[in-house]
Structure 1
Amino acid sequence: MAFSQQHFEGFRLDFPATLDDAREAVRSVVGWLADHQIQDAECQQWELVLAEAANNAVLYATPEQARQAAAIEVVLSESQIEVRITDHTIGFDWPVSVELPQDDESDHGRGLFIIKSLTDHASYLRGQGQNVLCLRADRKSVPAAREDIEATLDLMTAEVASCYETLANIFRLIADAGNDVEPIALAARWLEELRELAGADFLVLRTAGTEAGRLSFIGGVPSAISWEPSLDLRSSDTVESRAAATRQDQWFDKSTPWAPSDPLRKAGEHISGLAHPLESGGDLTGVLTVGVFQPLWEPSARELNVARSLGDFLGALLHGLNRRDEANQARLLKRELQIAADIQRSLLPAELPQTQFVHCAAHLATVGEVGGDYLDGILLPDGSLLFVVADVMGKGVPAALFATAFHSLLHSHLDLASKPSALMKRLNQAMFPELDRSDMFITAQLVHVSADGLALHVCGAGHAPLLLSDGRQIQEVTADGPPLGITADADYQDHPLSLATHTHVLLHTDGLSDVFSGGGILSRDELTAWLLSTAAAREDASASRDSLHRLHRSVVDASSQQDDATFMVITRGSHTLSAHTQNSLSHAKR
């Protein structure tokens, strides 16, 4: 015999047997029900029932009996609410039939009628020195589905594993592309590998060439299928052309109405899959089609993520290689830098998160098209925030690629955000092999701010000091950990700080105030003086960001500066959000 299982929540409250204490006890029970997602109307119904029941529990109490506490117990299941009220009075006789009394002055009978009318079950056990009134009613509020913790953990593990796998393959793909291999040969090798990773039977890759309005075939597996060498985008009847025109994934299966001229029909009669558009810098660069020789394809989340992510990167890389072969080296370099700049800008949040208690604004300026500076602001599920500023050694495409890897790993480990030192250690362990092999490093600063905006934890990895001010003095937090990529097993430390007395926090990269020949300098004294005056004036985050940007531009010659300059201002939420909040992140190229 099978038994159904239900989840139960319980609540018990003992109270002195007086009318005032009974009323307070009823309010506590109703508040507990409201906290457990019982709707207002249902709570009001129970408040009326409990008021009558609690009054009965203390109504007959003698002064001596009043010293013995009465009790209310509540059991909340997925389908019912049950209440038991215990008292130590002489009790009363429960009538055989509970009817509305004819006598308007009979409060006792009217109370029992209310209890009976508003519950599905009411019983009264009168005993020697103890009485128990039991009330039950079906729930009108449908309980929220309970989270399957194990399934959630399995999903999170699969997502992290997929991120690692995709990142590792991107590094391998970059290494292959650096060997000056022909684009067609590179595509053939990686399409075969991508087919295995995505659990697919066939793939077709088409890229945008010099001829406008057409996609050229660059590779496909298996090679036995003779794919069309060119696809006319003006034809909207084919699956691939629809993906290119709409810039959206196009699924196909046994129910798809195929156009007679659709090249995918060469793969067979019973096929299914996905045509995924490839973009770079806002431009269409091609279409990757992934499919199986079955009427219906049901890829796992991991397979779909690998196909899309690695396909996007492969398409962008091949597009860059084709452009290199079509133009001179100078034009190619400019295009690659533009692609990298678009990718880098896509890593930045469109707007930094703002809460009732914490406001922020930031500015990122790169010397060239792309740079190694990175910043982020993330609102976490518990209402707290994680702010990040990092600086990859060097600039240009290599720095931007490592900033991309840093971004992916950071967002894969947000479960560690409340302890920045643990998150920093995990980032270092994951990135050390590639950083060490490339002889590069990353300085970083992680700042976790509590949901109420009163506490923050800072962890630095070889980064510029974090500065705090209350308008009267400056507090400096230096980074005591080494940069990422220096030591594989480096340890990092959290610095807990109180924001109860501070109003302004400044994070920045060293490009904000470093000395460069002929470029001027924003000295540390000037920087701290600005922060003191800004905090004293209680400027909001956006106004503070703008004033620091103006100060930096007035002191440092932009044409001579050789390093990226990034900074972020965090303020406590006592300020009113200004119109500038919708432009919390500004980005400029020097």
Structure 2
Amino acid sequence: MSLTSLSVPIPSAEVQGRRLTRSEWMQCELSAHLDLSRQVLDELSAFARERGLDAESCRAMELAAAEGINNAIEHGCVGKPEALIRVVWGWSGEIFEVRILDPGSFAPGDPRQLLPNDPLKESGRGLFLMASLVDEVQHRLVDSGHELTLRKKVGAAKPRASALEQLQQAVETMAADLHVTYEDFSALLRLSEDLATASTFEAFVAMACRRLRELLQVESCCSLRLLEDDGSLEMIYGESQRPVPLRLEAARECVERLVIRNRHEEKVYHCSALPLEDPLHATSGCAFADPVLFQDKILGVFTVVQPKATQPFSERQANFVRSVSDFLGIALTTLSLQGERSARERASRELEIAATIQTALLPREFPENSNYRIFGQSRSAMEVGGDYFDVLPVRNVGVLLVIADVMGKGVPAALLATIFRTAVRSRLDLATRPGLLLSAVNQQISDDLYRLDMFITAQVAYLCYETHRLFLANAGHCPVLRLSGNGPAQRHGIQGYPLGVGGSIRFKEEVIALDPGDRLLFLTDGIFEIENAGHHMLGMEQLAADVPNLWKESPEQFSNALFEYLNIFSHSAPSTDDRTVLMVQRQG
């Protein structure tokens, strides 16, 4: 490791065009060995303390830099044993900045999403830890690798102290460090264990308060209030010898409200001197109220009261209260993230079940007939969708063909598609008269669709095997494409109103005579309303022109060719609408 001063600007640094001097910036280079990081951190801390950085900010920068250097060694230098890591630090105005450059190519995610499931796990919390210690964490890739920048507003640097002052500062720092005893570290370790083993968040709060009382070694009462959406403060844990309000309305002024508003701790030396409306007035002694934060989000306020204390909280006591508040912030955020994750997993599982059910309701086998081949396929834009098709044999003399598109997508559309399926199957006595069948189904479900402000487009067709005639009724659905010989695709389907527009609609029937070799394509609008990269829609005209070239073999082969054609047209972009096709081919 070598320590050098900088007399020229740092290659990747932007310091408003100024040249950097020894008093402002320092640089260290070290090889990828963890045992060298301590030397760099000592140099950084000494540099900062000499220029007046307070102990708390210095410690925060040191911890954040330690995490960054360790990450650079363990991840940025993997497979590069001879690589060097450069660490640069100094002031830019009122900002103290540390830059760590390694030869890696790290691309971080959102620190808020990177809390480990196990709170005691040693790895997995580095990004969020650094973000909680400094004001800004910036990652970027430069020509020579990955650069991490840590920034914290600490005030301008002070002139370097004299040798005697430096010695005095060193002695004071050593005394302060020695004051953090093994008992403090042991208490924090036990607090971490409590966080991992507590059955509920409330149980952890009770454990944390007990640990706090053990360390303070004085009589104390703790309370935790959480900030609600309406601005009120709700007590979820409280210890008091006197009744205190469980809820503090947003308009009520008190010490805890002041902590929330200013996002800063408050020390009260004489609680009895507070206004009567302040809940702390009912106590005696002194109090320490600390905000419960996670990053920049304030979650609540943690208050500790020492009823019989005659002296204010010592710095050691205050530090441990702050540590408990930090743990509470982590626990609350972890609980919230786990709740959100559980809700997402539950919703995903429910969608999977719904998709399985919906798939099971679609035909998996198609009627066999020596004169006709039938095949259908449906692909939803989401886990479940509003498209539906059905193929129902009619007494071995024909087949009922159904295709429908419910307004919208997702679960609501899927539910209505299921309702439509049930309604159709309940009127199979009208299977040979699709116009009457659609009218009956519309009368049955129209009121429900109207109340939901939704509608369904559908086509119902009866194919008679003996006469080779198709009876087609249309409820606002897109046309059926008919291919006959080598000619262009023809469109069929007398337009009618969608289901749900009115309950007394009568649907007309169109009769189509099918010749040997004729092919019918029933479809939903998701097939032809797709767009290419230039936002140009395929459209029914283009689809009708291209279908004859795609349908050369069986309906199954045509279905695969059609969906491949759609993928090529849309450049495999995710579908925004459900896509369903139903095909009939007369042999001959």
Between structure 1 and structure 2, the one with the greater Rg is 2
Structure with bigger RCO (C-alpha 8 Å, 6+ apart):
1
Q: TM-score range by the shorter chain?
A: 0.3 to 0.5
Q: TM-score, normalised by structure 2?
A: 0.40
Task: Give the TM-score of the pair, scaled to structure 1.
Answer: 0.40
